[in-house]
Structure 1
């Protein structure tokens, strides 16, 4: 039987009061969106949800934003949310899977596979006229023991190896203009372009534009095949800063590729290096 990373809003509405279950609101906005995810959570969220901040549950010593924290730090943070190794974790966001997939991936990196994403998130929940809440959650701290799964994470050294040896297909989740190096960058230390040989599949193309639910497994498989991705061969995903790359990893998981690594530093790291090649070729150039 095929396992899915998703649960529907309809399923959750019927199972809101299930014991040993924690709902996480992982909403995250880019600075250009000028929205405050934590404030919006305080105003309204799914009933019983806790707020998961990817910029706080992160390696705060790293100059790059929201990089993976150490295992002990992650264990402590999620334990305070009432999560143990036996807890069913359900994640959603209010920004089209943008960070819900990242948090889903983080739990899997730290050995917790009893985790699902609420398909469509808050957008779909509200479309169905299900109740929202402004009540601030409380929880009893539980013990969570992380077990780091290194195969789900790639670093700069590994990506250089992939590029040199062509050992994996690289998929870039950024918008096409960012991938092509056509979008103006606010940071002068960050160069435009993409990793040579990478294939661009913008994460926004993976979901239904109205319901904001992920496309069906069959549609996702067709989308990857149309982009000349061989699902039988090794893959690694990348993006701007390791967030939307996890949406690609989620879509690949639904397509039967269960252990796809995410390049955590992504372009925020690669694009700042002096010795990394950057390509700004036209989209259809071969």
Structure 2
């Protein structure tokens, strides 16, 4: 299964015994939306709802940190996602949150995972079947294997910036909007500094999508990263406000055959820490 699948492909595969479809829509309270209620009203037939707002480390004040492996495994099993499953994720979020679910699944050992290109909006626009209510799948065993080599911590990011990227060091790529990156727009979180990490580059996550909400691919996708000043032959660590849209850039890099690391605490941690360096203005 490819990492990015089309609506035609999914329509032909629906009903396969090993296929699991997951609605990974996440929106915050400020949006006025209720993702779980929206799922119950309309979802792709057979899809279960992954509540990303709860699938996090609740022992920290940071908004979207990875949960403990055993918590993740338990939630996946309750959704009917387990060993041997082919998992297709989609969302109906402005932040393309299926990429966050994809990144977590990869981090915890699931590798036959794809994202539906264009998400629920494209599926609906094409007049395809829609279901309502809740789907109930039989529990399946999920063997969790936490691979943290693609996760960066605050201390690791401090060390990276202190040493300087050099010719082989990791490049830091920020997925936030240009206004948030430069500091022109204040951070919405209390006591969080505006601006960005020293030396970071900026590629707003929206820059890797086409006008219809599908992912750019091939040369167009490569050009988006290169135009942001990224050398695709060097290591990259993505960041954003809370770790969500950083996952979107990580998925885009995966489509180019590049496995990037991700700073999970992102600006919600870095920007609020009084010991970290912050800069304003363009990259």
Q: Deviations over 1:22-80 (max 9, x none)?
A: 11101011333221111111111111111111121111111112210111111111011
In 2, the alpha carbon distance for the partners of 1:105 and 1:178 equals 23
In 2, the alpha carbon distance for the partners of 1:184 and 1:226 equals 25
Partner of 1:112: 110
Q: Deviations over 1:103-138 (max 9, x none)?
A: 000000001101000111001111211111103101
In 2, the alpha carbon distance for the partners of 1:96 and 1:23 equals 20
Q: Is the 8 A contact 1:6 1:118 kept in 2?
A: yes
Q: Is the 8 A contact 2:13 2:19 kept in 1?
A: no
In 2, the alpha carbon distance for the partners of 1:278 and 1:31 equals 28
In 1, the alpha carbon distance for the partners of 2:115 and 2:252 equals 12
In 1, the alpha carbon distance for the partners of 2:200 and 2:20 equals 37
Correspondence 1:182 to 2:180? no
The match for 2:7 among 6, 9, 14 is 9
In 1, the alpha carbon distance for the partners of 2:252 and 2:82 equals 26
In 2, the alpha carbon distance for the partners of 1:235 and 1:172 equals 10
- The Cα RMSD (Å) is 1.3
Partner of 1:248: 249
The match for 2:75 among 74, 77, 89 is 77
Q: Is the 8 A contact 2:189 2:268 kept in 1?
A: no
Partner of 2:262: 262
Q: Is the 8 A contact 1:6 1:117 kept in 2?
A: yes
Correspondence 1:275 to 2:275? yes
Partner of 1:140: 138
Q: Is the 8 A contact 1:93 1:100 kept in 2?
A: yes
Correspondence 1:34 to 2:32? yes
Partner of 2:151: 153
Partner of 2:170: 168
In 2, the alpha carbon distance for the partners of 1:154 and 1:160 equals 10
Q: Deviations over 1:224-257 (max 9, x none)?
A: 1222211111100000000000000011111120
Q: Is the 8 A contact 1:97 1:120 kept in 2?
A: no
In 1, the alpha carbon distance for the partners of 2:210 and 2:94 equals 10
Partner of 1:223: 224
Counterpart of 1:246 in 2: which secondary structure?
helix
Normalising by structure 1, we get a TM-score of: 0.94
Counterpart of 1:75 in 2: which secondary structure?
helix
In 2, the alpha carbon distance for the partners of 1:33 and 1:217 equals 33
Segment drifting more, 220-229 vs 148-157: 220-229
Gaps of 5+ in 2: none
Residue 161 (structure 1) shift: 1.3
